[in-house]
Amino acid sequence: MKRHSDTIDRRGFLRLSAVAAAGTVLAACGGATTSSNAPKGGATRGGGVPTKPAGVPPTAAQVTQTSAPAYTGGGTATVLTYHGKLSEAPTLAEMVKAGKLPPVEKRLPQNPYVVPHDWLVKGRYGGKMTQGYSDTSDWGTTHFQQESMYGHSILRYRHDALEIGPGLAESWEPNDDQSEWTLRFRKGLRWSDGQPFTVDDIIYWWEDEVLYKPFKQAVPDDMKSGTDTPGKMQKVDDYTLKLVFDAPAPIIPERIAANVNRGLGPAWVVPKHYMKQFHPKYNPAVKKNKSWQDTYWAKWDFATNPDNPVLTGYRLKQYKKGQYSIWERNPYYWCIDRWGQQLPYIDQVIIYNVQDPEVLKLQYTQGKFDYVHGGYAPIAPNDYGILKAAQQKGDYNMLLWDSGSGTGSIFFFNHDYPDPELRKLIRNPKFKQALSYAYDRATVRKTVYFDTGELTTGTLSPKGKSFHIGKGPQIHKQWKESYLEHDPERAKKMLDALGLKDTNGDGFRELPSGRKLQINLDYPSGTSREHIQKDEILAKSWGAVGVKAVPNPVNALSWQTKWYGAQLTSTTAWEVGDNQPLIYPGWVIPVAPDHWAPLEGQWWVMNGTSTKDPELHVDPWKRHPPRMGPPDKDFFPIAKRLWELYNKARLETNELKRYQYIWQVFKVHMEQGPFFLGVVENWPRAELVKNGLKNVPTRDQLPLHAWVNTWIYPVPAAYDPETWYWDNPEQHT
């Protein structure tokens, strides 16, 4: 669900004078006009690993491969295992020589993680890499780098999330009914300050943070069974942890691999030896300070506190609020390349925060930065022409990675709108289908997305595994094309059949009661031009069939309160970037108040919580918080059907059967929806790469050509930027 415009807007727009030229440039850059998801080159899809890595290969005696079958539950020890001599950066070697650092063999675990990507060549040590982004909230000054590192993950998604591989844990396996999971960690892992990592660092997070009552933390889904019941942790030894649940918990590996953890997603690993000094359980004196919790969480964030140890490739060295952050190599990073070289190659990463997005984009064209990730940057398709034209001058190359978006700029109704007559109409599938047929998506694609991506009714991301196994490809095609045709005459007939007639001759239809029908196209103030421009075309499309639609900015500070209270008509400034519905189900199943059935979503959230008064006698819109469930006469019954399928899927231990439940969820969307309307799927994201920066993958080297617009599969972290290097590092110091 990456890039919601009422949080951090990372998709600002720079208007181009040569609109037609931009489309030509995109096509020439590769992948702009098509979104084929079949793998090209790169890693293999089926669970095997590349047998011929690029560059000069190590000898067979140094690297062995473990066959990784298609995922069925447990995991093998590792994909690649290195047996040869280890090496390190010259700067670290000098510290070892001076007695300031242990030898590399004692800093790495017994079995280091060997980065498996088949596009990698043997790199060189040294240099620094600069990046530039824009975030007025300051969060991005450091946290964009935090998001770009996968080092805290127990397991890792691989091959554009088609597979799960090892991470901090070498292996993971369930018992027969998948109610217990055993994780075995690499022996000899160390934090960046040299202290040993053990499962005590995980149990600390669980017992002393999540379950510690003064912190009032919610139990993350990562530690819940398929019945939503929290599990338990059992320490077997320093490097073995058992997760125990009351019922099957088959999604545990997928959940653990999701996000980068420890900042985005559940933390899972926390340096107990460092954090316990700020915790009253271990240091009662901290309670003398009334704001001890503020101190604790300030110390907890390694993206702003340089003293907090990490397991990532880089650790924070310096941070200037709102301006820049400097990250230096972690000498204890537990990952190596195929040649036994400890990663990362590059000495330092520097993130600059340029407050004015337009100034920043000018700096992009001038080549001020070494790397720019399109998922963080305020650039979009109508910027690509000028960025492409400036490549030679700026000494960089513009790559295009697939966004993986399932919708582009979205539209969806609030199916719990308070007005009974309008709510009944919104919930009627024929009404939504008529509006979809009336939608001139081709004009939005041309005007907003410069003829990139493929037209779609609106689905989850085409990159998700649910669209790549079994019947998945056919289901994706069916959903994508379900109400896609632009057919205004068909839409008019469907609207007529619903009793929506223009009774006063003003050119717009009234409700069957004769009352005015108007659809507010609601969006938070400050929304990017992408969404506003789409709304203008959407309003014109629906006006052409007699349905009045009006773009309606809403104060961004009050947006969430109004949406959660079901007071708004629609959402028009978001997009679907995810397709892992058992990890982030909200787009297709109402389990949170953020999406198309906010009151049912809040009911799900509150289900099972200890509340003395369920407020069943209170109007659902006036409850605290507003919520609606099966006992209520105005409950949306589709939610119950989706909940039932979701509950079955979460307990199903057979992967293919789980996907069959998910496909049934999609079928409900096709028959009773569309619950959200998309425009284009898989429009391209730009990556700006300075000439000489190596091992940054191209689109065709990636199994699914990348998947940028999701938090769950962390890009670029999943492509291991620690393996990127300079062909001339001495020129980048």
* Same domain assignment for residues 76 and 202: yes
Q: How many CA atoms lie within 13 A of 140 on its CB side?
A: 21
Average model confidence (pLDDT) across the chain: 90
Q: Is residue 17 domain-resident?
A: no
For the cut 80, the answer to whether the pLDDT of residue 205 exceeds it is yes
Amino acid, res. 564: Y
Percent of the chain at pLDDT exceeding 70: 89
* Same domain assignment for residues 676 and 659: yes
Q: Give the H or E element holding residue 300.
A: helix 292-300
- Per-residue pLDDT band for 80 (boundaries 50, 70, 90) equals confident
For the cut 60, the answer to whether the pLDDT of residue 193 exceeds it is yes
Q: Is residue 403 domain-resident?
A: no
- Per-residue pLDDT band for 467 (boundaries 50, 70, 90) equals very high
* Same domain assignment for residues 303 and 426: no
State the pLDDT at residue 71: 38
- Per-residue pLDDT band for 49 (boundaries 50, 70, 90) equals very low
* Same domain assignment for residues 645 and 705: no
Residue finishing a domain among 681, 696, 713? 681
Does residue 592 contact residue 601 with C-beta atoms inside 8 Å? yes
Q: Is residue 283 domain-resident?
A: yes
State the pLDDT at residue 4: 34
State the pLDDT at residue 29: 40
Q: Is residue 242 domain-resident?
A: yes
State the pLDDT at residue 608: 57
* Same domain assignment for residues 702 and 657: no
* Same domain assignment for residues 499 and 485: yes
Does residue 231 contact residue 223 with C-beta atoms inside 8 Å? yes
Is the dihedral angle over the CA atoms 302, 308, 311, 312 positive or is it negative?
positive
Q: Is residue 50 domain-resident?
A: no
User: What ranges make up the beta strands (E) of 580-636?
Assistant: none
For the cut 90, the answer to whether the pLDDT of residue 67 exceeds it is no
Distance CA 194, CA 25 (A): 49
For the cut 90, the answer to whether the pLDDT of residue 532 exceeds it is yes
* Same domain assignment for residues 623 and 699: no
- Per-residue pLDDT band for 32 (boundaries 50, 70, 90) equals very low
For the cut 70, the answer to whether the pLDDT of residue 245 exceeds it is yes
Q: Is residue 143 domain-resident?
A: yes
For the cut 70, the answer to whether the pLDDT of residue 40 exceeds it is no
What residues have CB less than 8 Å from 411, skipping those under 6 apart? 521, 538, 570, 571, 572, 676, 677
* Same domain assignment for residues 610 and 700: no
CATH classification of the domain holding 614:
3.10.105.10
- Per-residue pLDDT band for 695 (boundaries 50, 70, 90) equals very high
Burial code of 628-661, b = ≥16 C-beta within 10 A, e = fewer? bbeebeebbebbeebbebbeebbbbbebeebbbb
Does residue 35 contact residue 402 with C-beta atoms inside 8 Å? yes
Residue finishing a domain among 658, 681, 704? 681
The residues pairing with 550 across neighbouring beta strands, listed in sequence order, are: 520
* Same domain assignment for residues 579 and 688: no
State the pLDDT at residue 611: 58
State the pLDDT at residue 21: 34
Q: Is residue 201 domain-resident?
A: yes
pLDDT (average), residues 202-228 = 95
Q: Is residue 190 domain-resident?
A: yes
* Same domain assignment for residues 178 and 323: yes
| Residue pLDDT, tens place only, 271-302 | 999 999 999 999 999 999 999 999 999 999 99
CATH classification of the domain holding 313:
3.90.76.10
Distance CA 101, CA 237 (A): 28
Does residue 13 contact residue 381 with C-beta atoms inside 8 Å? no
For the cut 50, the answer to whether the pLDDT of residue 111 exceeds it is yes
Does residue 109 contact residue 327 with C-beta atoms inside 8 Å? no
Does residue 719 contact residue 375 with C-beta atoms inside 8 Å? no
* Same domain assignment for residues 108 and 215: yes
For the cut 70, the answer to whether the pLDDT of residue 425 exceeds it is yes
Does residue 394 contact residue 388 with C-beta atoms inside 8 Å? no
State the pLDDT at residue 265: 86
Q: Mind giving me the DSSP string for 195-216?
A: PBP-THHHHIIIIIIIS-GGG-
| Residue pLDDT, tens place only, 484-499 | 999 999 999 999 999 9
Name the domain count of the chain: 2
For the cut 70, the answer to whether the pLDDT of residue 119 exceeds it is yes
| Residue pLDDT, tens place only, 147-181 | 999 999 999 999 999 999 999 999 999 999 999 99
For the cut 60, the answer to whether the pLDDT of residue 19 exceeds it is no
| Residue pLDDT, tens place only, 553-589 | 999 999 999 999 999 999 999 999 999 999 999 999 9
Q: How many CB atoms lie within 10 A of CB 214?
A: 12
Does residue 155 contact residue 172 with C-beta atoms inside 8 Å? yes
* Same domain assignment for residues 651 and 722: no
Domain that holds residue 272: 63-346+683-731
Range in 14-28, 88-102, 242-256, 356-370 with the lowest mean pLDDT: 14-28
What's the pTM? 0.89
pLDDT (average), residues 428-433 = 98
The SS3 call for residue 714 is: coil
For the cut 70, the answer to whether the pLDDT of residue 56 exceeds it is no
pLDDT (average), residues 536-565 = 98
